[in-house]
Amino acid sequence: MKRYVVLISGRGSNMASLLDASASGRLPASPAAVISSKPEAEGLRAARNAGVETRVVDPARFPSRAAFDDALAGTIDAFSPDLVILAGFMRILGNDFVRRFAGRLINIHPSLLPAFPGLNTHRRALAEGVRFHGCTVHFVTPDLDHGPIIAQAVVPVFDDDIEASLSARVLEKEHLVLPQAVAWFVEDRLTVVEGRVRLDASR
Ligand code: GAR
């Protein structure tokens, strides 16, 4: 069975959705480890409780971005995963790191990319008055939040939404779409053709 490593920085609810999907058999892949960039990340406890190996690679302990990226890559490689999943990982990774894991590095982003790359996506969606918002799972490329899109989920934006209500509505979708995208990956159903992801629908 294929194995994945999840990178987190905080709450870890998307990570938990992956562990749940693996435990229930909906996701035919097993978690090799959860790695956090923050020693105090809430998600670490949930991972340990689920019996998954955890590691912390804290950027504060490294003299440069490149040294951090190297240490993180080494920590991941020790588990030899088939797939590396950024699930609320709040660090920008350098080009060498991205190249090293190219084709097996995916990210979940809380907007309908290419709209609202970067931070504070829900606040910016409200400020722009968009009627629909959502989340995107994509392959990571050196171009921040712009890699080939595997899956998206859409939610309506209501007149009385505030950041908290909108982010909660999107998060519910994130918890569905990320395990689904990972399942497609581990089932070898995804190919990238000219920057677009094709899903093998014959299975
Ligand atoms: C999620 O909404 C995820 O999409 C977002 O952080 C949140 C993490 O929540 N990721 C990014 O903003 C990446 N740029 P979680 O820790 O509960 O999964």
The DSSP code sequence of 95-146 is HHHHHHTTTSEEEEESS-TTSS-SS-HHHHHHHHT-SEEEEEEEE--SSTT-
CA of 203 from ligand 1 middle (Å) equals 30
**Stretch (H or E) spanning 57:** none
Q: 138 catalytic, yes or no?
A: no
Q: What is the pLDDT along the chain (203 residues), one digit of tens a residue?
A: 999 999 999 999 999 999 999 999 999 999 999 999 999 999 999 999 999 999 999 999 999 999 999 999 999 999 999 999 999 999 999 999 999 999 999 999 999 999 999 999 999 999 999 999 999 999 999 999 999 999 999 999 999 999 999 999 999 999 999 999 999 999 999 999 999 999 998 87
Ligand 1, pocket-test mutation among 6, 11, 89, 150, most atoms within 8 A of CB: 11
Whether 110 is in the pocket of ligand 1, judged by its Cβ within 6 Å, is yes
Ligand 1 atom index nearest CA of 13: 17
> Does 2-199 carry CATH code 3.40.50.170?
yes
Residue nearest to atom 5 of ligand 1 (CA): 88
pLDDT of residue 99: 97
Whether 11 is in the pocket of ligand 1, judged by its Cβ within 6 Å, is yes
pLDDT of residue 186: 98
Nearest to 110 by CA among 40, 178, 21: 178
Residue nearest to atom 17 of ligand 1 (CA): 13
